[in-house]
Amino acid sequence: MITDRQIFQTFLGLPAIVEDPMEIVKAEGVYMYDRDGKDYLDLVSGVSVSNVGHCHPKVVEAIKAQVDNYMHLMVYGDIVQSPQVRLSKLLVDNLPETLNSVYFVNSGSEAIEGALKLAKRATGRTTLVHFDNAYHGGTAGALSMMGREYYRSAFRPLLPCTKELQFNNTEQLEEIKEDTFAVVMEPVQSEAGVIIPKKGFLEAVRRRCDEVGALLIFDEIQMGMGRTGSIFAFRKLGVTPDILCLAKALGGGMPLGAFIASRNLMNLLTFNPVLGHITTFGGHPVCCAAGLAALHVIIDDDLAAKAEAKGLKFQKAIEDHKTVRDIRRIGLFLGIDIDENIDTGKLLSQFRANGLLGDLFLFREHAFRIAPPLTITDNEIDIAITRVIKTLDSMTK
């Protein structure tokens, strides 16, 4: 009989080839389990998806309850669906008044695409500004802003009139001009290796956008939903965008994204033309039910505030290791630079051998991430630290 592994390697389209892919049969909390019952402590969270852990009981309960009621209906403004409206209200209750209209989509890439369309529609302008080493997704518009040309070049032509600036370089902000319809940025860069904005940089971007009438779009797809020590990263950093993009942890483990703006802005997608942005499954009721439950967990359990101490505990335990060259951290997201002589492929393999799921960064060599579920306990952090240090020790032998 053909095995799942054989089917995986033969019939699935894959973004990359892994020599020995894991076969996970169960995931719960911060742990994943393979067919042999071995546990792996998850330091990746599905790339910041599982902020409330794998299969959180309240999320699972919400999914099951919603499936018993209905699944797909329609999302073109015809039908009021409780999971959608309740999640949108809870989001808006935790956002500034200028971000009071939520458009649900399927993913982060689609959130970015919707935000770009909205900014174009609002300004009628042509030039798009983005930053180096940023990651916004893999669809055509998002790919046009990919932080490395290596990932863009095979798919050109992409969007015209794009302009790439250096993150944290205030002098280049003069390149944001009157023809700019949007400036798109991660307030904290994720795949660049957790790059935190220098003091005053985000304020300078906001000020320049206001001067020329460009819209500021923040991509919190990976950094949002409590990861940085605040439910939304921009709240911690003190600069508010015109449009906010969310996904990943927004769905509590289910596929869900959103772009959020003012009601006046969002109405531009409703009229002239009608159906200015369309999605078949965006805001799927089962996904919204999961997202609503997950956001309640983040708020009720104060996971965002607790992320700071948990991240600091990891940092203090690891920063003096002889293989570590630098650590950048915000909340419970660490980018750890290691000795350039260490083979990062072997590092990941050794993580796995020692019962950890680890991952690297797209745009930073010789670095790995620590971004476990925000629900991780002190005892689980101790276990993770022991396994990380054991792995790093083995890299020096």
- What pLDDT does residue 11 have? 86
Beta bridge partners of 34: 24
- pLDDT level of residue 1 (50, 70, 90 thresholds): confident
Could you count the other beta carbons within 10 Å of the beta carbon of residue 360? 18
DSSP 196: P
For residue 16, pLDDT over 90 is answered with: no
- What pLDDT does residue 12 have? 85
- CATH code for the structural domain at 4-55+302-394: 3.90.1150.10
- What pLDDT does residue 76 have? 83
Task: Tell me the mean pLDDT in the region 300-304.
Answer: 99
Instruction: In whole angstroms, give the CA distance from residue 361 to residue 201.
Output: 23
- What pLDDT does residue 300 have? 99
Beta-sheet pairing, 324-330 with 333-338: antiparallel
For residue 187, pLDDT over 90 is answered with: yes
Instruction: In whole angstroms, give the CA distance from residue 342 to residue 340.
Output: 5
Distance from the Cα of residue 339 to its chain's centroid: 27
Task: Tell me the mean pLDDT in the region 74-84.
Answer: 92
- What pLDDT does residue 15 have? 83
Instruction: In whole angstroms, give the CA distance from residue 329 to residue 187.
Output: 14
Specify the range with the lowest mean pLDDT, choosing from 33-47, 147-161, 193-207, 282-296: 147-161
Task: Tell me the mean pLDDT in the region 76-94.
Answer: 96
Instruction: In whole angstroms, give the CA distance from residue 376 to residue 397.
Output: 30
Q: What percent of the chain has pLDDT over 70?
A: 100
Instruction: In whole angstroms, give the CA distance from residue 312 to residue 189.
Output: 19
What six digits make up the tokens of 362? 């797209």
pLDDT tens for each residue of 217-243: 999 999 999 999 999 999 999 999 999
More confident residue, 297 or 17: 297
Spatial CA neighbour of 29 closest among 253, 207, 247, 187: 253
Instruction: In whole angstroms, give the CA distance from residue 235 to residue 254.
Output: 25
What six digits make up the tokens of 101? 């209209």
More confident residue, 102 or 4: 102
For residue 17, pLDDT over 90 is answered with: no
Q: How far is CA 170 from CA 136, 257, 283, 330, in A?
A: 21, 30, 37, 22
Instruction: In whole angstroms, give the CA distance from residue 292 to residue 280.
Output: 20
- What pLDDT does residue 5 have? 86
For residue 397, pLDDT over 80 is answered with: no
Instruction: In whole angstroms, give the CA distance from residue 102 to residue 86.
Output: 11
pTM above 0.95? yes
Instruction: In whole angstroms, give the CA distance from residue 134 to residue 273.
Output: 32
- What pLDDT does residue 208 have? 99
Instruction: In whole angstroms, give the CA distance from residue 374 to residue 384.
Output: 14
Query: Which region holds residue 204: left if phi is over 0, alpha if psi is between -120 and 50, else beta?
Result: alpha
Query: Amino acid identity of 253?
Result: G
DSSP state letters, 112-147: HHHHHHHHHHHH---EEEEETT----SSHHHHTT-S
Q: How far is CA 164 from CA 116, 133, 281, 364, in A?
A: 16, 10, 32, 18
pLDDT tens for each residue of 190-221: 999 999 999 999 999 999 999 999 999 999 99
Instruction: In whole angstroms, give the CA distance from residue 299 to residue 249.
Output: 13
Query: Amino acid identity of 237?
Result: L
Residue 382 neighbours by CB under 8 Å, 6+ apart: none
For residue 97, pLDDT over 80 is answered with: yes
Could you count the other beta carbons within 10 Å of the beta carbon of residue 374? 29
Task: Tell me the mean pLDDT in the region 81-109.
Answer: 98
Query: Amino acid identity of 14?
Result: L
Domain boundaries, the chain: 4-55+302-394, 57-300
223 within 8 A of 249, measured Cβ to Cβ: no
Instruction: In whole angstroms, give the CA distance from residue 318 to residue 391.
Output: 12
Specify the range with the lowest mean pLDDT, choosing from 6-15, 121-130, 274-283: 6-15
Q: What is the mean pLDDT of the chain?
A: 97
DSSP 56: -
pLDDT tens for each residue of 242-280: 999 999 999 999 999 999 999 999 999 998 898 899 999
- CATH code for the structural domain at 57-300: 3.40.640.10
Q: Look at residue 213 and give its three-state secondary structure.
A: coil
